[in-house]
Amino acid sequence: MTERRMVAAIDTSLVATAAAAFSVLCASTSFAGVLADSRWVFPALLVVVVVAALGVLGRRLHWPLYATASTQVAGVLVVLSSQFAEHAVLGLLPGPAAISELGELLSGAADVVRTGVPPVPAEPALQALVCLGLGLVAIVVDLVVVGLRSPAVSGLLLLCVFAIPASLSDTMLPWWTFVAGGVGFAVLLASGGQHRRWRRHEDREQVTRALFGPTSTAVAGTAGVIALLTGVVFTGVGTEGRLPGSVPEQFGGTDGIGLQPFTSLRGQLNRDKEVELFRVRGLKEPTYLRALTLRKFDPERGWELEGLTQGVEANAQLPLPEGTDIGEGDAQRVEIQPIGYRDPWLPVFGVPRFLSGMGVNWRYDPASGIVFTQTNQESRPYVQQLVVPKPTPEQLRDARGPMRVAPEYLDTTGIPPQVTDLAQRLTADAGTEFDKAVALNRYFTDPSNGFRYDLQTAPAGGGDALSEFLFRGKRGFCEQYASSMAALLRAVGIPSRVAIGFTAGYRQGDERVITTEDAHAWVEAYFPGWGWQTFDPTPLSDGRSALPQYLNSELHPAQQPSSAPDPAQPSTPPTDGSTPGGGPQDDQGARPAPVDPRETEQSNPWPIAIGVLVLALALLAAPAVVREVRRRQRVRAISGGAAGSAGLAWQEVLDEFRDRGAQPAATDTARQVATKLLEHHALDESGAKAMRALVVAVEREWYSANGRSDESLPETLRTVLDSLRRASPLDLRSRAFPRSVLQLLRPQP
């Protein structure tokens, strides 16, 4: 007589839930291509696991789909509050204050997504945005795969997860992310493709064969190849680090282009590592490299580009900037080689007079001093002939004449009255426009006024950002300094604009190297005849400042000549931790380097330690939880008189013995196994009797053509287990790490 093989049953809904969570996590690897570090991984893993766990709970309690989904949404909010909100109720629950914090974080993250240049640091704002998105995707995928049993449909959602970082990156995402996504989707299909034939509890061997068999392996391999090819296509139609619509293909008229360059600038300053952008040959002395200028001040959104015209062809002799009559200065020829830079703005030094080598379709706008392109193209090495104006303080004091610039450069709309009052008080003793500009510049650089350079601005106090920085926070980086001084200049009638670009970097041999550490913002003020002149209220203390002589001699009259590095003396690359700016002076007059906010954030190990501890505890508890869930499933099925109840009862008895170290031989019959177990564990009389009854029920179910379910089977099983627990109680280790879960189960005779 042949023996019937026993196979362990498994809940197919658990398989589908795990596959859904696994596929979302595989798709989330695509964010590795746009986020510069891995701080987002643990919160993302946590939110997906919480969604899966709440889905299992809802289905165990037979909740309707909407109740389960609502609970999962609440779970996502709890994870976000516990991870990113300082004012969560009990440090965990999303109260009104926590919701407000999360809203501000997500708003900031939206700006970074719109204008940041990947890869960007995974700051808390971006972590929150990624976790929220993955949480919502995980909820919908769980609903579609497990609730509606339509796993193939979820592929569209997973594709959207890939499409977002693919559209943000100007290079191909890591190849392994596409392979991971394809494998995750293949496992998802394998776990759900047979649901219409699978029962709620299916035997383990069949499930394993469906998940990891030849068919699934072939599907996974094919999906990986297709996903890899799809990734190449997505990258090929990317948008150079911005979402579609952020930078339209055409510039024209007087409309703004919606660019928020300060967000991109902050991304440059906050990078985890220094990235080389340009190599420059022929620059005689340090001078700021200007990429674009901003003329519109919005009290809520800050400074924006506006009024960019079609300009003139850049590959030709260039006119003097608008409103400039004096073309005197130091004429230079500079060779610029872009290395890690790609943008529609071509940076230039001083007053450009001729450009060549950068390719076609580049335009120069004399009004804004910007060189730009309307087509998607790589930046090539280019040559610039320029003039560096060198007016004296006396010449700028004597500058007189009409303001031949657009009236928008004098627009004071949105500047609060208290800011205007401050500007007038600071310039009350200044006799000329130049002296007013110097007085305003000195207000920020004088340590006695309490301003401090920092890559993190002071916490908002509820007022407008300009007043908050000037009167209360007094802490920020070049964005706040340049923005504030430009507003103060306009408040006293001096045309001004904010310039975005780079300092001159450091000397390396006969070249100057400009990196992401040199990203900077400064101010340009207009003087009749001389045009736009540079002012810089940000206290740079790392040797990279490029203050013009007329400003340096006024701010530091005791330092003659200019404090700028002598071009004959080779400068050295910045030391680790240096930043393009300085902080307040200490008592000895030295400005300490500002503290990198990433170092400050990483100096507190407790959030990460607690998270790792919670994850470790969850992993440690997993075997016992799996064992208990399996036991309850079997008992429920046996009590309900399900088909194969005797086999399930026998499997539960075998697992109890395995937990105690017994391992029945594969060749033994059920009677032989029972005899050995009774002898080894010395069950009492009631237990031995129940064991023999269970063997009879099992043999009747396996070998009898008309095997019927035994109504006394639940009581028989309970008696066997009670007797076993009295005769051989499990120790703590065996309860925490049951051998029946940890060892690989094989079919038993």
- Put the strands of the sheet holding 506-508 in their side by side order: 351-356, 382-388, 330-338, 276-281, 511-515, 506-508
254-263, 264-273, 708-717: lowest mean pLDDT where? 254-263
Mean residue pLDDT of the chain comes to 76
pLDDT at residue 53 in the model:
92
Is the pLDDT at 242 greater than 80? The verdict is no
Q: Which residue has the higher pLDDT, 675 or 571?
A: 675
Position of tokens 């009290």? 299
Looking at residue 509, its pLDDT comes to: 86
Rounded Cα distance between 731 and 575, Å, is: 58
How much is the average pLDDT of 107-130? Answer: 72
Instruction: Give residue 581's pLDDT band: very low, low, confident or very high (50, 70, 90).
Output: very low
pLDDT at 556: 80
Check whether 710 has a pLDDT greater than 60.
Answer: yes
CB 505 within 8 A of CB 514: yes
DSSP states of 222-287 = HHHHHHHHHHHHHHHT--TTS-TTSS-S---TT------HHHHHHHHHT-SS--EEEEEES--S--
pLDDT for position 224: 56
- What is the mean predicted confidence (pLDDT) over 644-668? 83
* Least confident piece of the model among 210-219, 671-680, 702-711: 210-219
Rounded CA separation 553/561 (Å): 8
Could you give the C-alpha distances from 161 to 31, 154, 181, 707, 715, in angstroms and in order?
Answer: 9, 11, 10, 52, 51
For residue 393, give both structure tokens.
């303080």
Query: Tell me, what amino acid is at 191?
Result: S
722 or 226: which carries more pLDDT confidence? 722
Q: What is the reported pLDDT for 621?
A: 80
Mean pLDDT check: name the lowest of 35-44, 94-103, 458-467.
458-467
Which pLDDT value is given to residue 185? 78
Q: What is the pLDDT of residue 334?
A: 95
Residue 352: what pLDDT?
Answer: 94
Is 50 or 477 the better-scoring residue by pLDDT?
Answer: 50
Mean pLDDT is lowest, of 472-481, 524-533, 662-671, for 662-671
List, in order, residues 6 or more apart from 487 with CB less than 8 Å away: 297, 415, 419, 466, 496
**What integer is the mean pLDDT of 139-144?**
88
**pLDDT of 382:** 93
The tens digit of pLDDT for each residue in 720-729 reads 888 888 888 8
Confidence check: pLDDT of 586 > 60: no
Q: What does the pLDDT read at residue 601? A: 37
Q: Is the pTM of this model over 0.85?
A: no
Please tell me the predicted confidence (pLDDT) of residue 208: 57
Asked whether the predicted pLDDT for residue 575 surpasses 60, the reply is no
- Is the pLDDT confidence value at 183 over 50? yes
Which range scores top for mean pLDDT: 107-116, 340-349, 492-501?
Answer: 492-501
Phi and psi at 109, nearest 5°, equal -65, -35
For range 685-692, the mean pLDDT: 88
What is the pLDDT at residue 595? 37
Average pLDDT for 427-454: 90
Read off the pLDDT of each residue in 220-249 and give the average, rounded to a whole number. 43
Q: Which residues contact 28 (CB under 8 A, 6 or more apart)?
A: 44, 48, 130, 134, 161
State what percent of residues in the chain have pLDDT above 70. 73
Kindly report the number of other CB atoms within 10 A of residue 399's CB atom: 18
Calculate mean pLDDT across residues 136-156.
Answer: 81
pLDDT of residue 642: 83
pLDDT value for 261: 52
Give 159 or 266, the one with higher predicted confidence: 159
Q: What integer pLDDT is reported at residue 272 of this predicted model?
A: 56
Task: Give 501 or 607, the one with higher predicted confidence.
Answer: 501
User: Phi and psi for 607 in degrees, rounded to 5?
Assistant: -60, -45
**C-beta of residue 241 within 8 angstroms of C-beta of residue 116:** yes
Which of 119-123, 190-194, 208-212, 693-697 ranks highest by mean pLDDT?
693-697
Give the model's pLDDT for residue 669: 82
pLDDT grade, residue 494 (50/70/90)?
very high
Confidence at residue 152, expressed as pLDDT on a 0 to 100 scale: 73
What pLDDT is stored for residue 535 in this prediction?
A: 95
State the pLDDT confidence band at 704, using cuts at 50, 70 and 90.
Answer: confident
- For the segment 511-524, what is each residue's pLDDT rounded down to a tens digit? 999 988 888 889 99
